[in-house]
Structure 1
Amino acid sequence: MKFDLHTHHDRCGHASGKIDDYISAAIRAGMQVIGISDHSPYFAHEHDQPQPGIAMARSDFPNYVAEVLRLKDKYRDKIEVLLGVESDFYVDQIDLYRSSYEPYPFDYIIGSVHQTRGVSIFNRNRWNGKETEEQIEEKKHYYELIRQSAHSGLFQVLGHIDAMKGYFPLFSNITGAEEEIDEALKAVAANDISIEINTSGKTKYCGGWYPSDVILERAHHFGVDVTFGSDAHVPDRVGEDWELVQKRLREIGFSRWVFFRQKQKVVVSL
């Protein structure tokens, strides 16, 4: 069974195509399950859409849900469409985000740390001038937030858990945060959720999937479940590298991966 839980569309402001286009692309790719998971609004901001090029307007969120549910019904005989969302994780706003999602029948919610200390993890300049100890502290802090997101009880999937390497490939070589990475992975296992293998990393400077093989090996060691997400921002990337990821997971030692339906884990053999 082929599935992809991580896709975006033009509503977020930095992806191309309509939701319908991504579903059609999934059908062409021979997928049985496609998840729609556009970026959550900034629920805590005073403005309805403070960053139009990053996330949808707060007022548009009900429309997003309604459109996915309509398409779920439209395509029910061709492919299973899942209602998801990629949610930001802010420690001090978790209750607001929780209550904002509560009214809707999400199949799953992806929790992603996109900012630390108020700076985007993809900011190309955030590492400028940082000495080794500062780099280690930043990496520790990042994985501490990921650990907290796993324990929040809000998410079924944790998104791209080493995406800080996206525009700073040397991130993977920063040593000294191994304990924090392990604690984050233990939290995922303890809460019976999953991490994603996200193939969009190949479109960034790092040129590889999220997370690295080293982290996937640690995840396997701790009994962490994994899922698949292309993080497609154009329809043609839906399901990209699915077979290659499947092969690599088998090589590491995984025997299964999962997706979520009505927030319940569906196990698929590798």
Structure 2
Amino acid sequence: MKFDLHTHHYRCGHADGDIEQYILAGKEAGLAAIGISDHSPYFASEHDQPQPGIAMAKSDLVNYIQEVLRLKAKYEGTIDVLLGMESDFYPEHADLYRRMYEPYPFDYIIGSVHQTRGVSIFNRNRWKNLSEKKQIEEKIHYYDLIRQSARTGFFQVLGHIDAMKGYYPQFAELPAHEAIDETMQVIADNDIAIEINTSGKTKSCGGWYPSDALLERAHHFGVQVTFGSDAHTPSRVGDEWELVRKRLKEIGFRQWVYYKEKRKVIVPID
């Protein structure tokens, strides 16, 4: 059974296509289930859309949800359309974000750390003039935020957990083994899945998130895994799903999961 939990569309301001185009691409790719998971609005602002080009406006959230639910009904029986959200994680605003999601029938929410210390994780310039010691400190801080996100209790999936390497491939080599192992243990203890996100191939690092080394640690700690293309164009829906399935099997995983009505659905890896 093929599924993809991580897709975007035009509302976030940096993706192409509407939701229905992603659903049709999912059908073409042979998916049984597709999750629509656009970027959450930035709720901690008095402005409606303080981050244009990054996330949808607060006022558009209801429109987004209604459109996904309408298309879920339209395609029932042909492809399972799941209502998701990729939520930014800001520890100081976690309770606010939780309250904003509670009224809606999400199938799952992906928790993603996109900023640390107020700077995008994809900002190449953040690494300039930092000593190796400072770079390691930044990596450890990043994984501390991921652990905090795992403990919130309102995410079913954690997104791209080594995405800081996206435009700084050297990030992957910075030693932070204890922080990573502690993070995997916390994720396992909280029964959350991590995604294998194939959009890393579109960045300078040229590979999936997370790396094979992290997937091996995840397997060691009993962390659940899921799949997300992180498609920002319909042509990438389900991208490299079969390659990921094969690699997970080689590492030793025997199942992966997706979520419906926030309940885990187990899919054997055969």
Counterpart of 2:151 in structure 1 is 151
Q: Deviations over 1:69-89 (max 9, x none)?
A: 000000002100000000000
Q: Deviations over 1:18-52 (max 9, x none)?
A: 00000000000011000000000000012100111
Counterpart of 2:194 in structure 1 is 195
Q: What is the DSSP-based 3-state SS (H/G/I as helix, E as strand, rest coil) of the residue aligned with 1:260?
A: strand
Matches within 5 A, 1:46-125: 46-125=46-125
Q: What is the DSSP-based 3-state SS (H/G/I as helix, E as strand, rest coil) of the residue aligned with 1:227?
A: strand
CA shift at 1:183, angstroms? 1.2
- Which aligned segments of 4 or more residues in structure 1 are displaced greater than 6 angstroms? none
State the AA in 1 paired with 2:210: P
CA shift at 1:166, angstroms? 0.2
Q: Deviations over 1:102-126 (max 9, x none)?
A: 0000000000000000000000111
CA shift at 1:193, angstroms? 1.1
CA shift at 1:225, angstroms? 0.4
| Correspondence 1:242 to 2:252 | no
After TM superposition, the score normalised by the length of structure 2 is 0.99
Counterpart of 1:213 in structure 2 is 212
CA shift at 1:216, angstroms? 0.2
Q: What is the DSSP-based 3-state SS (H/G/I as helix, E as strand, rest coil) of the residue aligned with 2:264?
A: strand
State the AA in 2 paired with 1:81: V
Counterpart of 1:222 in structure 2 is 221
Moved more, 32-41 or 179-188: 179-188
Distance 1:83 1:181 in 2: 30
Counterpart of 2:39 in structure 1 is 39
Q: Give the aligned CA root-mean-square deviation in angstroms.
A: 0.5
Q: What is the DSSP-based 3-state SS (H/G/I as helix, E as strand, rest coil) of the residue aligned with 1:27?
A: helix
Distance 2:174 2:190 in 1: 27
| Correspondence 1:269 to 2:236 | no
Q: Which runs of 5+ in 1 are unaligned?
A: none
Distance 1:188 1:73 in 2: 33
State the AA in 2 paired with 1:232: A
Distance 2:224 2:53 in 1: 32
Counterpart of 1:162 in structure 2 is 162
Counterpart of 2:231 in structure 1 is 232
State the AA in 1 paired with 2:257: V
CA shift at 1:180, angstroms? 1.0
Counterpart of 2:183 in structure 1 is 184
Counterpart of 1:142 in structure 2 is 142
CA shift at 1:184, angstroms? 1.1
Q: Which runs of 5+ in 2 are unaligned?
A: none
Distance 2:77 2:253 in 1: 31
CA shift at 1:95, angstroms? 0.3
Q: What is the DSSP-based 3-state SS (H/G/I as helix, E as strand, rest coil) of the residue aligned with 2:231?
A: coil
Q: What is the DSSP-based 3-state SS (H/G/I as helix, E as strand, rest coil) of the residue aligned with 1:228?
A: strand
CA shift at 1:154, angstroms? 1.1
Would you say how many aligned residue pairs link Structure 1 and Structure 2? 269
CA shift at 1:169, angstroms? 0.3
